[in-house]
Amino acid sequence: MSSLNVAHTVSQNVKLKSLQFAYGTHINQIPQCPPSSAKECNKSGWRFTLNPHTPNCFWPPARRSPQRVAQNNYQACSLWALSMYETDVQATLAYAQLKKMIKNIKKAVGDHLSQGSITVDDGKCTPPDHRGHYDFHPYINSNFTSNFNVIRQLP
């Protein structure tokens, strides 16, 4: 094998390794997770966090307590993704709705709103729903959290 072919093979292996998903051992057990509709994306993400950020601000619901129960594979996959919103307004409205249903919302997901950039190198995003919510499945070597900053406290 020529040195050019070896370099290409090494490059391919590095790329494949870097595109493994965080929580891959869990999501690989769920059929079609992430869903085929999830694509690499360049976009802003708005997320509920604490101030200052802690590592668990960027944990999926499946790692948090109390754990939610999935009713199907789609929900099980979503529990291993990070919830994001497309805009400040959409995230604020969603938080207000969740606050009515979840007594300890501040403890469960935080009481601040953070914004950051997600790139094609960071992972895959599902298409947003009618409320602007989308699931983000980060790659294992992604450093997207360093791009997130606390914007303000949520009401």
Amino acid at 116: G
Q: Are 30 and 78 contacting, i.e. CB atoms less than 8 angstroms apart?
A: no
Per-residue pLDDT at 86: 98
**Cα 100 from Cα 91, distance rounded (Å):** 15
Three-state SS for 74-97 is HHHHHCCCEEEECCHHHHHHHHHH
Provide CB contacts within 8 A for 66, sequence distance 6+: none
Residue with tokens 């979503």: 78
**Cα 146 from Cα 148, distance rounded (Å):** 6
Q: Are 124 and 24 contacting, i.e. CB atoms less than 8 angstroms apart?
A: no
Query: Where do the domains of the chain lie?
Result: 3-153
Per-residue pLDDT at 64: 83
Instruction: Name the nearest CA neighbour of 114 among 78, 83, 141.
Output: 83
Whole-Å CA distances, 72 to 24, 78, 79: 18, 10, 11
- Strands 39-40 and 112-118 come out as unpaired
In 3-state terms the chain splits into helix, strand, coil percentages (rounded to 5) of 35, 25, 40
pLDDT tens-place values along the chain, 155 residues long: 544 444 444 434 444 444 799 999 999 999 999 999 999 999 999 999 999 999 899 999 999 876 778 889 999 999 999 999 999 999 999 999 999 998 888 888 999 999 999 999 999 999 999 999 999 999 998 989 999 999 999 99
Per-residue pLDDT at 66: 66
Per-residue pLDDT at 5: 46
